[in-house]
Amino acid sequence: MSVLALVLALCSGAAAQQFPAGAALAGDEPLFSVESPIGSIDYLAGRGLRLGRSGLTIGGFSTVEVELEQGEHGVIDLDSINFLTPWRFTDSISFFAEIEIGGLLSYDTGTGKVESDVEVALERIYGEYNYDDRLNARLGKFLTPVGIWNTVPAEPFTWTATNPVFLETALSEHTTGAALFGSFYPGENTLDYWLYGQFFDEIYPSEDPEPINSSVGGRLRYGAPLGDWAVGSSFMAAELAGDWSFLGGLDGYWKLGPVELQSEFTIVGGALPDRNQWDVYLQGVYELGSLTHYLRGLYLVGRYEHNDPSGSIETTNIGDVGLTWIPTHFVIIKAGYRFSDRQTEEVRRGFFSSISVLF
């Protein structure tokens, strides 16, 4: 399994596993270590600052983005700094928060104008009770467990600098409420489940799509013990001002040698017209380092997506082709070009690149 695949697997787990496993995989020693009354305070690049026996780790990531959209000036953004803070009180009780400082710096290459509109947002905050592998409970604001992409949508943990369109239009990225989740092990394989609902107003809600008032949903995922393949399904019912929308989804992941494939199909219908649509994407990744050690850490990435809003003529076919380079476990560099048969508010043709650093 590739480094990024392992990162994705770990980041989709419990609060104590929110950091990528790069340092452990690479066998790195701490960059510094200081003894204190609460034990050894260690910093590992890409895995954060661990504060001794307190159970608290402070880490995160930052991303610089370059966008050269067709017909527009180029833009260079210091997109955000995100702090990730898992805190394990006991073997069973933990806490997690993600604080995002966004809008730090934007440079327009056409006009030379520099803008800064700093905003602080609480992206995630929740507490967890872990009974055992089969039963865990979460309360707070967390990523909505729909499909593959939305469970780990942050820039460092995806293969491309662009996201599938349906993430922007079909569902709310976050849920503020409660969830039950766990894993069973039939035979040699793994069956994961999620049951969740939104019962509170979202903290720092996104503006697009409009935040929902309440929801209920579930997810099942069945896969191989080493993660070489998996299939999943998702369902969610969401309510806004008395109107309901219903989402159904199927997804799959497969890895064989240097090749990874993943796909999601999502359909949304109901009384919320802005969300009614169906969407499918297929993404492939090829590890070029398998050809020669000179290309170690370099990956060829391609994705095709079809987006079909209900009652609209703006059916869109989108292609993304590019390269991702992981020179070390805490740096991810991406560059790609997006094609489409039409430009919409959500889909712009052009070159997109990013550099993400985990700290």
pLDDT in tens, 266-301: 999 988 777 788 999 999 999 999 999 999 999 999
CA distances from 317 to 68, 186, 259, 282, 350 (A): 20, 39, 23, 12, 14
Looking at residue 17, the DSSP 8-state letter turns out to be G
Out of 2.40.160.10, 3.30.465.10, 1.20.1250.20, 1.10.15.40, select the CATH number for domain 3-358. 2.40.160.10
* pLDDT tens-digit readout, 131-166: 999 999 999 999 999 999 999 888 888 999 999 988
Percent of all residues in the chain with a pLDDT value above 90, rounded to a whole number: 66
* 138 to 178, 181, 198, 262, 350: CA distances (angstroms): 6, 8, 12, 27, 40
The CA-to-CA distance between both ends of the chain, in Å, stands at 23
pLDDT of amino acid 207: 64
Whole-angstrom distance, CA of residue 253 vs CA of residue 260: 8
In the chain, % of residues over pLDDT 70 = 90
Distance CA 330, CA 223 (A): 27
* Phi, then psi, of 4 in degrees rounded to 5: -65, -35
Per-residue pLDDT at 24: 31
Task: Say what the pLDDT of residue 23 is.
Answer: 30
Confidence of residue 30 (pLDDT cuts 50, 70, 90): confident
Phi first, then psi: give them for residue 282, nearest 5 degrees: -130, 125
pLDDT, one tens digit per residue, over 90-122 is 999 999 999 999 989 999 998 999 999 999 999
Domain boundaries, the chain: 3-358
CB atoms within 10 A of CB 149: 20
Q: What is the pLDDT of residue 209?
A: 66
